[in-house]
Amino acid sequence: MKRRPLLGGAAGAVALAACRDPAPAREGGRPAGGRLLVFSKTAGYRHESIAAGIQALRDLFQVDATEDAGAFTPDNLARYRAVVFLNTSGTILDQAQKAAFEEYIRGGGGFAGVHGAADTEYDWPFYGELIGAHFASHPQIQPAVVRVEDPTHPATAGLPQTWTRTDEWYNFRTNPRARVHVLLTLDESSYTGGTMGADHPHAWYRTYGRGRSFYTAGGHTVESYAEPAFRSHLAGGIRYAAGL
């Protein structure tokens, strides 16, 4: 398990200052632009793919990337169409930062969680509802068949009905289906180590107050972020969350 220090000193000041530029004009409760806040703080397992994920998102969107939880203030969050938790882990926000994020989502902000985002903030009920399900376990990295359940969503448009790829396949503590709209499921007969049976959600979305939430369990490996199909899936889900 690898850890990287949080931004500190001059580097942290520069990053946080960048987050405090004047907010753009708003439309329907969201900033008029399409900028994203990509947050990758870890207090548990640290994915080696974080840097690749940030670069992929920079290729696709206007992005401010940080691991400084001080960015979670009402004024700063108001600058962004959506906040992406990119392979976060553990407890990463304090109570004031959590309150700011809850206000942001309920007021119409967007959230997108990628892979390790489900291994984050287990004791925060709001976050558990927002993301839909928490991580339980995973087998070794291996190929598996992902099935498209809803081909009409931006996150699944253009994907093959059966999509074979290699990644780390999460099992979840609960099945989120009753609380979310499932987009992708895993075919547990196509790999070893699945524990959820015939109904194994892998990506989904939901609304929360005036906000929107998207989660995909893909994205453990560095190679994921160079896959055209995975990048398309990720970009579509984030566009949904951001209302773009």
- Whether pTM > 0.85 for this model: the answer is yes
Could you give all domains of the chain from N- to C-terminal order, each with its CATH number?
A: 28-242 (3.40.50.880)
pLDDT band at 18 (very low <50, low <70, confident <90, very high): very low
Taking only the tens place, the pLDDT of each residue in 88-130 is: 999 999 999 999 999 999 999 999 999 999 999 999 999 999 9
Taking only the tens place, the pLDDT of each residue in 219-230 is: 999 999 999 999
Which position has the higher pLDDT, 32 or 84? 84
Question: Strand ranges (DSSP E) for the chain?
Answer: 26-27, 30-31, 36-39, 63-66, 82-86, 110-114, 135-137, 142-148, 162-167, 171-172, 181-187, 201-208, 211-216
Q: Residue 244: what pLDDT?
A: 87
Residue 103: in which H helix or E strand, if any?
helix 95-106
Collect all residues with Cβ–Cβ distance below 8 Å to 14 and sequence separation of at least 6. none
pLDDT band at 31 (very low <50, low <70, confident <90, very high): low
Q: Residue 34: what pLDDT?
A: 80
